[in-house]
């Protein structure tokens, strides 16, 4: 198998993932890192941004270097022979960290349906719940051992990408998850680490955001907006609102939910979720974004109000 050959052939690896890293990005990176180290390889994990607070409880999260730190190393460009991009549908998703690894052979491991197959080796499985599932399979197929640290990292990846096993979950997802528990992942500890360390200020922000909730007259579309003032008033930032979309998904009879976030440059970030066959990836793609059928995102070059109008018009086409 090409990906196994890739990981055996080179001695030193640059591991990275997408901007605004989530649990799948961080968990997959850490698991791959420990696996490569156990094989006697050199590896670094470099992301543009620091590890979000919710994943710092994971063993191995301290290894992840912000790009600025990595660049301070002497001859940092010569410190790796190959790169592994995790969870990046295009190499641009990895931001500046991805640029550093452009000239070395790339292994692209992902589960996004719109992956552009930019790697020298591409391991893309759109059907699986999380990139962490693919990393799990790679480790098993290489005869590697799932240590407790790897198990915890992969459990976190799958837990978060399925919103705690609420969607994208099938029997194989749960079989892998069961294996991870057998290998030392502690579900209670991980749930507490990921979901139950919410800052008080984040709930203050949630209160403001939920007060903007709207639905279309047919009830099919439910959405909220976040403006810059809400962050300022509560002392929070974008990353604190990551899970807010999940609160909208529970509204009865909804087909599509979205969250509009005003960015510092006045553009609007849109997080989209949908039920069943309603394909929000198509909606996101209209604005140059991407993702999966039931979870996607894009950035629109206008303010909140105009973006609301534009996105509602596109959603109408898929209902
Ligand atoms: Mn993912």
Give the number of other CB atoms < 10 A from CB of residue 124: 19
> What residues in the chain have per-residue pLDDT under 70?
1
Tell me whether the CATH fold assigned to 2-195 matches the one assigned to 200-318: no
At the topology level, CATH places domain 200-318 in Diaminopimelate Epimerase; Chain A, domain 1 (3.10.310)
What are the structural domain ranges in the chain?
2-195, 200-318
Three-state DSSP at 152 gives helix
Ligand 1 center to residue 200 CA distance, Å? Answer: 27
Ligand 1 center to residue 155 CA distance, Å? Answer: 12
Closest of 317, 316, 298, 296 to residue 307, by C-alpha: 298
Ligand 1 center to residue 233 CA distance, Å? Answer: 31
Ligand 1 center to residue 145 CA distance, Å? Answer: 23
Ligand 1 center to residue 74 CA distance, Å? Answer: 33
Ligand 1 center to residue 161 CA distance, Å? Answer: 5
Enter the DSSP assignment of 89. Answer: S
Ligand 1 center to residue 206 CA distance, Å? Answer: 24
Ligand 1 center to residue 130 CA distance, Å? Answer: 5
Ligand 1 center to residue 27 CA distance, Å? Answer: 10
Exposed / middle / buried, residue 178 (Cβ in 10 Å: 0-12, 13-18, 19+) = exposed
Residue 59: its H or E element = none
- For residue 168, what pLDDT is reported? 87
Q: How far apart are CA 6 and CA 3, in angstroms?
A: 5
Ligand 1 center to residue 173 CA distance, Å? Answer: 13
Ligand 1 center to residue 25 CA distance, Å? Answer: 7
Ligand 1 center to residue 292 CA distance, Å? Answer: 9
User: pLDDT by residue (tens digit) across 214-239?
Assistant: 999 999 999 999 999 999 999 999 88
Q: For domain 2-195, give its CATH number from 3.30.470.20, 3.90.930.12, 3.10.450.50, 3.90.1640.10.
A: 3.90.1640.10
Ligand 1 center to residue 134 CA distance, Å? Answer: 10
Ligand 1 center to residue 24 CA distance, Å? Answer: 5
Ligand 1 center to residue 167 CA distance, Å? Answer: 12
Ligand 1 center to residue 75 CA distance, Å? Answer: 32
268-229-203-130 Cα dihedral, nearest 10 degrees: 20
Q: How far apart are CA 229 and CA 233, in angstroms?
A: 6
HEC letters along 171-215:
HHHHHHHHHHHHCCCCHHHHHHHHHCCCCHHHHHHHHHHHCCCEE
- For residue 54, what pLDDT is reported? 87
Ligand 1 center to residue 162 CA distance, Å? Answer: 9
Ligand 1 center to residue 258 CA distance, Å? Answer: 18
Ligand 1 center to residue 278 CA distance, Å? Answer: 19
Ligand 1 center to residue 136 CA distance, Å? Answer: 13
């Amino acid at each position: 198998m090409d990906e196994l050959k890739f990981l055996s052939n080179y001695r030193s690896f640059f591991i990275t993932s997408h901007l605004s890293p989530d649990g799948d990005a961080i968990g997959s990176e850490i698991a791959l890192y420990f696996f490569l180290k156990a094989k006697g390889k050199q590896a670094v994990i470099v992301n543009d941004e620091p590890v979000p607070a919710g994943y710092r409880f994971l063993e191995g999260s301290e290894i992840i270097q912000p790009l600025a730190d990595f660049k301070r190393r002497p001859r940092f460009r010569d410190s790796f022979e190959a790169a592994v991009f995790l969870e990046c549908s295009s190499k641009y998703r990895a931001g500046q960290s991805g640029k550093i690894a452009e000239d070395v052979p790339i292994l692209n491991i992902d589960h996004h349906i719109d992956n552009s197959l930019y790697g020298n080796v591409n391991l893309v499985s759109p059907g699986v719940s999380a990139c962490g599932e693919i990393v799990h399979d790679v480790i098993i197929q290489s005869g590697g051992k799932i240590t407790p640290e790897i198990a915890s990292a992969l459990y976190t990846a799958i837990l978060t990408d399925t919103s705690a096993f609420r969607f994208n979950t099938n029997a194989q997802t749960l079989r892998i998850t069961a294996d991870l528990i057998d290998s030392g992942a502690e579900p209670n500890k991980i749930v507490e680490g990921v979901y139950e360390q919410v800052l008080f200020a984040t709930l203050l922000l949630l209160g403001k955001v939920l007060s903007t909730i709207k639905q279309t007259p047919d009830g099919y579309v439910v959405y909220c907006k976040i403006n810059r003032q809400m962050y300022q008033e509560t002392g929070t930032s974008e990353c604190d609102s990551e899970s807010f979309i999940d609160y909208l998904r529970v509204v009865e009879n909804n087909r599509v939910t979205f969250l509009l976030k005003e960015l510092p440059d006045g553009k609007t970030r849109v997080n989209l979720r949908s039920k069943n066959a309603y394909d929000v990836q198509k909606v996101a793609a209209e604005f140059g974004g991407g993702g999966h059928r039931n979870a996607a995102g894009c950035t629109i070059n206008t303010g909140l109000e105009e973006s609301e109008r534009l996105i509602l018009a596109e959603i109408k086409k898929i209902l």
